Protein backbone atom coordinates (compact mmCIF):
# COMPACT_ATOMS: atom_id res chain seq x y z
CA UNK A 1 0.00 0.00 0.00
CA UNK A 2 1.33 3.42 -0.94
CA UNK A 3 1.84 5.84 1.93
CA UNK A 4 2.04 9.64 1.79
CA UNK A 5 3.99 11.33 4.59
CA UNK A 6 4.05 15.07 5.29
CA UNK A 7 7.35 16.60 6.37
CA UNK A 8 6.09 20.16 6.73
CA UNK A 9 5.76 23.12 4.35
CA UNK A 10 5.65 21.57 0.83
CA UNK A 11 7.65 18.43 1.55
CA UNK A 12 6.07 15.00 1.13
CA UNK A 13 7.37 11.49 0.81
CA UNK A 14 5.51 8.92 -1.26
CA UNK A 15 6.52 5.33 -0.79
CA UNK A 16 5.44 1.75 -0.58
CA UNK A 17 7.40 -0.91 1.32
CA UNK A 18 10.16 -2.32 -0.88
CA UNK A 19 9.52 0.19 -3.69
CA UNK A 20 11.12 3.46 -4.76
CA UNK A 21 10.91 6.36 -2.33
CA UNK A 22 9.83 9.66 -3.86
CA UNK A 23 10.40 12.92 -2.02
CA UNK A 24 8.76 16.20 -3.07
CA UNK A 25 10.35 19.63 -2.41
CA UNK A 26 12.67 18.61 0.45
CA UNK A 27 12.96 21.81 2.46
CA UNK A 28 14.06 20.52 5.85
CA UNK A 29 17.12 22.52 6.90
CA UNK A 30 15.73 25.82 8.21
CA UNK A 31 12.13 24.63 8.02
CA UNK A 32 10.62 25.20 11.47
CA UNK A 33 8.05 22.43 10.78
CA UNK A 34 10.54 19.77 9.69
CA UNK A 35 10.09 16.58 11.75
CA UNK A 36 13.45 15.16 10.67
CA UNK A 37 16.86 16.27 9.47
CA UNK A 38 17.81 16.17 5.81
CA UNK A 39 20.60 13.70 6.65
CA UNK A 40 17.97 11.18 7.78
CA UNK A 41 16.07 11.24 4.47
CA UNK A 42 16.25 8.26 2.15
CA UNK A 43 15.12 8.84 -1.41
CA UNK A 44 15.33 7.29 -4.85
CA UNK A 45 13.72 10.21 -6.68
CA UNK A 46 13.45 13.85 -5.63
CA UNK A 47 10.83 15.96 -7.37
CA UNK A 48 11.57 19.69 -7.27
CA UNK A 49 8.76 22.04 -8.32
CA UNK A 50 10.86 25.21 -8.59
CA UNK A 51 14.04 26.89 -7.45
CA UNK A 52 12.86 28.86 -4.41
CA UNK A 53 14.78 27.90 -1.29
CA UNK A 54 11.70 26.54 0.48
CA UNK A 55 11.31 23.92 -2.29
CA UNK A 56 14.75 23.20 -3.74
CA UNK A 57 15.85 23.14 -0.10
CA UNK A 58 18.06 20.13 0.65
CA UNK A 59 17.42 18.47 -2.74
CA UNK A 60 21.03 18.52 -3.92
CA UNK A 61 22.46 17.33 -0.59
CA UNK A 62 19.95 14.45 -0.38
CA UNK A 63 20.48 13.54 -4.05
CA UNK A 64 24.22 13.36 -3.43
CA UNK A 65 23.95 11.28 -0.26
CA UNK A 66 21.33 8.86 -1.63
CA UNK A 67 22.43 8.87 -5.29
CA UNK A 68 18.82 9.80 -5.97
CA UNK A 69 17.58 11.15 -9.29
CA UNK A 70 16.20 14.67 -9.32
CA UNK A 71 13.12 15.13 -11.50
CA UNK A 72 12.54 18.76 -12.41
CA UNK A 73 12.33 21.26 -15.23
CA UNK A 74 15.31 21.39 -17.58
CA UNK A 75 16.77 24.44 -15.83
CA UNK A 76 16.92 22.85 -12.38
CA UNK A 77 17.91 19.43 -13.76
CA UNK A 78 20.72 21.10 -15.70
CA UNK A 79 21.96 22.87 -12.59
CA UNK A 80 21.89 19.56 -10.68
CA UNK A 81 23.77 17.74 -13.43
CA UNK A 82 26.32 20.55 -13.39
CA UNK A 83 26.99 19.61 -9.76
CA UNK A 84 27.56 15.98 -10.78
CA UNK A 85 24.14 14.79 -9.59
CA UNK A 86 21.71 12.46 -11.33
CA UNK A 87 18.79 14.36 -12.78
CA UNK A 88 16.07 13.84 -15.35
CA UNK A 89 14.89 16.95 -17.15
CA UNK A 90 11.27 17.25 -18.18
CA UNK A 91 9.14 20.24 -18.98
CA UNK A 92 5.57 21.39 -18.65
CA UNK A 93 3.08 19.10 -20.38
CA UNK A 94 5.67 16.35 -20.79
CA UNK A 95 5.29 12.88 -19.33
CA UNK A 96 8.06 10.35 -18.73
CA UNK A 97 7.93 6.77 -17.54
CA UNK A 98 9.79 5.53 -14.45
CA UNK A 99 9.85 2.10 -12.80
CA UNK A 100 7.04 3.21 -10.44
CA UNK A 101 4.79 4.65 -13.16
CA UNK A 102 5.18 8.11 -14.67
CA UNK A 103 5.69 11.78 -13.90
CA UNK A 104 4.01 14.54 -15.91
CA UNK A 105 4.84 18.19 -15.35
CA UNK A 106 1.95 20.61 -15.02
CA UNK A 107 1.88 24.40 -15.17
CA UNK A 108 2.09 26.40 -11.95
CA UNK A 109 1.41 30.13 -11.70
CA UNK A 110 4.50 31.10 -9.76
CA UNK A 111 8.11 32.26 -10.12
CA UNK A 112 10.76 29.80 -11.23
CA UNK A 113 13.41 30.77 -8.71
CA UNK A 114 16.03 30.04 -11.38
CA UNK A 115 16.93 32.11 -14.45
CA UNK A 116 14.99 31.18 -17.56
CA UNK A 117 12.91 28.55 -15.82
CA UNK A 118 9.33 27.88 -14.88
CA UNK A 119 7.66 26.70 -11.73
CA UNK A 120 5.73 23.47 -12.17
CA UNK A 121 3.49 20.97 -10.48
CA UNK A 122 3.53 17.19 -10.91
CA UNK A 123 1.09 14.46 -11.79
CA UNK A 124 2.65 11.26 -10.49
CA UNK A 125 1.41 7.78 -11.28
CA UNK A 126 2.76 5.55 -8.52
CA UNK A 127 1.89 1.86 -8.59
CA UNK A 128 -1.63 2.41 -9.84
CA UNK A 129 -2.43 5.61 -7.96
CA UNK A 130 -2.43 9.10 -9.40
CA UNK A 131 -1.26 11.97 -7.24
CA UNK A 132 -1.36 15.65 -8.21
CA UNK A 133 1.10 17.88 -6.37
CA UNK A 134 0.30 21.46 -7.36
CA UNK A 135 3.64 23.02 -6.37
CA UNK A 136 3.50 26.69 -5.47
CA UNK A 137 0.69 28.12 -7.54
CA UNK A 138 -2.26 30.41 -7.76
CA UNK A 139 -5.58 29.03 -8.87
CA UNK A 140 -5.90 28.48 -12.62
CA UNK A 141 -8.81 27.21 -14.69
CA UNK A 142 -6.84 24.44 -16.38
CA UNK A 143 -6.84 22.55 -13.10
CA UNK A 144 -10.22 21.43 -14.44
CA UNK A 145 -8.40 19.88 -17.38
CA UNK A 146 -5.90 18.18 -15.06
CA UNK A 147 -8.88 16.72 -13.22
CA UNK A 148 -10.54 15.50 -16.41
CA UNK A 149 -7.43 14.10 -18.09
CA UNK A 150 -5.49 12.65 -15.16
CA UNK A 151 -8.31 11.80 -12.73
CA UNK A 152 -6.12 12.16 -9.64
CA UNK A 153 -6.86 9.94 -6.65
CA UNK A 154 -5.16 12.47 -4.39
CA UNK A 155 -4.65 16.23 -4.77
CA UNK A 156 -1.98 17.99 -2.68
CA UNK A 157 -2.79 21.71 -2.57
CA UNK A 158 -1.16 24.80 -1.04
CA UNK A 159 -3.49 26.85 1.17
CA UNK A 160 -1.29 29.42 2.94
CA UNK A 161 -2.07 32.43 0.71
CA UNK A 162 0.34 35.34 0.04
CA UNK A 163 2.72 33.24 -2.15
CA UNK A 164 0.16 30.65 -3.35
CA UNK A 165 -3.56 29.94 -3.31
CA UNK A 166 -5.32 30.70 -0.08
CA UNK A 167 -8.06 28.55 1.42
CA UNK A 168 -10.98 29.77 -0.71
CA UNK A 169 -9.11 29.45 -4.02
CA UNK A 170 -7.78 26.03 -2.98
CA UNK A 171 -11.38 24.93 -2.31
CA UNK A 172 -12.21 25.92 -5.91
CA UNK A 173 -9.09 24.06 -7.10
CA UNK A 174 -10.27 20.94 -5.29
CA UNK A 175 -13.68 21.23 -6.96
CA UNK A 176 -11.94 21.50 -10.39
CA UNK A 177 -9.67 18.50 -9.75
CA UNK A 178 -12.39 16.25 -8.36
CA UNK A 179 -9.87 14.10 -6.49
CA UNK A 180 -11.65 12.03 -3.82
CA UNK A 181 -8.86 12.85 -1.36
CA UNK A 182 -7.25 16.25 -0.71
CA UNK A 183 -4.32 17.12 1.58
CA UNK A 184 -3.28 20.76 2.24
CA UNK A 185 0.28 22.08 2.57
CA UNK A 186 2.33 25.33 2.45
CA UNK A 187 0.73 26.89 5.54
CA UNK A 188 1.74 27.81 9.12
CA UNK A 189 5.45 27.55 8.37
CA UNK A 190 5.74 31.28 9.11
CA UNK A 191 3.23 33.91 10.36
CA UNK A 192 2.88 35.24 6.78
CA UNK A 193 1.24 32.03 5.59
CA UNK A 194 -0.88 31.25 8.62
CA UNK A 195 -4.02 29.35 7.66
CA UNK A 196 -6.47 27.08 9.45
CA UNK A 197 -6.40 23.65 7.78
CA UNK A 198 -9.62 22.73 9.60
CA UNK A 199 -11.38 25.63 7.84
CA UNK A 200 -10.07 24.29 4.52
CA UNK A 201 -11.19 20.75 5.40
CA UNK A 202 -14.67 21.93 6.39
CA UNK A 203 -15.10 23.97 3.19
CA UNK A 204 -13.77 21.22 0.90
CA UNK A 205 -15.92 18.53 2.46
CA UNK A 206 -18.96 20.84 2.51
CA UNK A 207 -18.65 21.14 -1.29
CA UNK A 208 -19.37 17.45 -1.24
CA UNK A 209 -17.97 14.17 -2.42
CA UNK A 210 -14.38 14.55 -1.30
CA UNK A 211 -12.44 13.87 1.83
CA UNK A 212 -9.77 16.18 3.21
CA UNK A 213 -7.06 14.78 5.45
CA UNK A 214 -4.97 17.25 7.46
CA UNK A 215 -1.53 15.86 8.26
CA UNK A 216 0.67 17.31 10.99
CA UNK A 217 4.37 17.34 10.05
CA UNK A 218 5.64 13.78 10.48
CA UNK A 219 2.23 12.17 9.97
CA UNK A 220 1.44 9.65 7.25
CA UNK A 221 -1.67 8.51 5.46
CA UNK A 222 -2.14 5.18 3.70
CA UNK A 223 -3.57 5.59 0.22
The residue with its CB nearest to Ni ion is: 52
Q: In the chain, what is the straight-line distance between the N-terminal and C-terminal CA atoms, in Å?
A: 7
Task: Name the binder of 125 from Ni ion, Mn ion, none, CB < 5-8 A by kind.
Answer: none
Counting residues that bind Ni ion (by CB under 5 A) gives: 2
Instruction: State how far the Cα of 67 lies from the Cα of 148, in Å rounded to an integer.
Output: 35
Report the nearest approach of Mn ion to the CB of residue 216 (Å): 19
CB-based burial of residue 110 (10 Å sphere; 0-12 exposed, 13-18 middle, 19+ buried)?
A: buried
Instruction: State how far the Cα of 203 lies from the Cα of 167, in Å rounded to an integer.
Output: 9
Report the nearest approach of Mn ion to the CB of residue 160 (Å): 8
Report the nearest approach of Ni ion to the CB of residue 136 (Å): 4
CB 57, CB 28: distance < 8 Å: yes
Among 52, 125, 186, 201, binds Ni ion (CB under 5 A): 52
Sheet holding 154-158, edge to edge: 95-98, 101-107, 120-126, 129-133, 154-158, 181-185, 211-212
Pick the closer one to Mn ion by CB: 49 or 130: 49
Task: Name the binder of 161 from Mn ion, Ni ion, none, CB < 5-8 A by kind.
Answer: none
Pick the closer one to Mn ion by CB: 136 or 169: 136
Q: Which segment (50-58, 89-97, 122-130, 203-211) binds Ni ion by CB under 5 A?
A: 50-58
Residues 120-179 that bind Ni ion (CB under 5 A): 136
What residue ranges bind Mn ion (CB under 5 A)? 54, 136
Report the nearest approach of Ni ion to the CB of residue 15 (Å): 25
Binding site for Ni ion (CB under 5 A): 52, 136
Amino acid sequence: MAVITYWGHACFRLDEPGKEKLVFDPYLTGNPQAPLKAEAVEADYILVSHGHGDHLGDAYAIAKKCEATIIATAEIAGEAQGKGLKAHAQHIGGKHGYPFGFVKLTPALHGAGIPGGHACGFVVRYYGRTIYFAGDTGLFGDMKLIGELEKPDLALLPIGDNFTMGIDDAVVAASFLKAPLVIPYHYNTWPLIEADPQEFKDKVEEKGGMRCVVLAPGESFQL
